[in-house]
Amino acid sequence: MSLLSINGLQAGYGPRRVLQGVDLTIGDGQILVVLGANGAGKTTLLRAISGTIPRAGTITFDGKRIDQLSARKVVAAGIAHVPQGRGTFADLTVDENIRLGAYLRNAADAKRNRERWLTFFPRLRERLAQQAGSLSGGEQQMLAITRALMLQPRLLLLDEPSLGLAPIITRGLVDVLAAIRKETAMTMLIVEQNANLALAIADDGMVLESGNVVLRDTAANLVGNDEVRRIYLGYE
Ligand SMILES: Nc1ncnc2c1ncn2[C@@H]1O[C@H](COP(=O)(O)OP(=O)(O)OP(=O)(O)O)[C@@H](O)[C@H]1O
Ligand SMILES: [Mg+2]
């Protein structure tokens, strides 16, 4: 059964249509990686799903239509979005940022929930009182992800979590995402330039080109696909 099913999704900015009618499905508990050149519409796809931009078409999540819902209601339905560029509040502490993610919960719930997610990110636990703006890039990304996890989503949308991070930090982050999926069966839609690392933990991948899905296959098949290897995985 698909957790998320999208048909004919169109979205853009003002008169500019970016997504040209995207169809995609993600099975419950699966990780799907979205590949595509700069400007292909990857960020726009995540925004359209999370309802942060206007969209047309049908989006069914857990058996219910969500394409008419406000961004806030999409979150309440169980979808959390970690936007490109992270969006943590630099002047707030790590703990305050994490607590912002818990706005839908009561305090006891939030505390239990925070402890649960911090087991995946021990570095953040050591830095709860530190200002978010003074964290390293990798720590800020962990914080953004933790804040999203505090919403207890069933589907996590991640937009280029490795942006600006050193390869070794990226690998650590991707490994944590894999561990979270293994332990919680959380479904993930990940936009990632570092396609080698992302496909290694994914079930499926798809390629977006000028707002259209041009390829969808298992991660293993994509890694073995000559064209994908040349364009997205950096093999000659
Ligand atoms: N707020 C905006 N207003 C107008 N046009 C926008 C806006 N955001 C994105 N676009 C345009 O929409 C197109 C798709 O952008 P999008 O950010 O979805 O691409 P992307 O695949 O995420 O690229 P990147 O890999 O660089 O992040 C681009 O041509 C971009 O210039
Ligand atoms: Mg983008």
pLDDT at residue 107, rounded to an integer: 75
Instruction: Please state, rounded to an integer, the average pLDDT across all residues of the chain.
Output: 93
Distances (CA, A) of 170 to 11, 160, 163: 30, 10, 9
SS3 category, 80: strand
Name beta bridge partners: 158. Answer: 82, 190
Question: What are the structural domains of the chain?
Answer: 2-78+153-232 (3.40.50.300), 88-152 (no CATH)
> Which residues surround the ion ligand 2 when the cut-off is CB under 5 Å?
42-43, 84
Say how many C-beta atoms besides its own lie within 10 A of residue 116's C-beta. 14
* Closest CA to ligand 1's atom 16: 41
pLDDT of the residue at 166: 87
Question: From first to last of its 236 residues, what are the pLDDT tens digits of the chain?
Answer: 799 999 999 999 999 999 999 999 999 999 999 999 999 999 999 999 999 999 999 999 999 999 999 999 999 999 999 998 777 888 999 999 998 877 666 777 888 899 999 999 999 999 999 999 999 988 999 999 999 999 999 999 999 999 888 888 899 999 999 999 999 999 999 999 888 899 999 999 999 999 999 999 999 999 998 888 888 887 76
Protein residue with its CA nearest to atom 24 in ligand 1: 38
Ligand 1 pocket: which of 33, 43, 162, 232 to mutate (most atoms <8 Å of CB)?
Answer: 43
**Straight-line distance from the first to the last Cα atom of the chain, in angstroms, rounded to the nearest whole number:** 38
For 31, 78, 99, 154, 236, the CA distances from 206, given in Å and listed in that order, are: 11, 23, 34, 20, 21
The percent of residues above 90 in pLDDT, for the chain, comes to: 79
12 CA from centroid of ligand 1 (Å) = 9
101 lines ligand 1 (CB under 6 A): no
| Structure confidence at residue 236 (pLDDT) | 60
Q: Is 6 exposed, middle or buried (0-12, 13-18, 19+ CB in 10 A)?
A: buried
pLDDT at 104: 65
**pTM attached to this predicted model:** 0.95
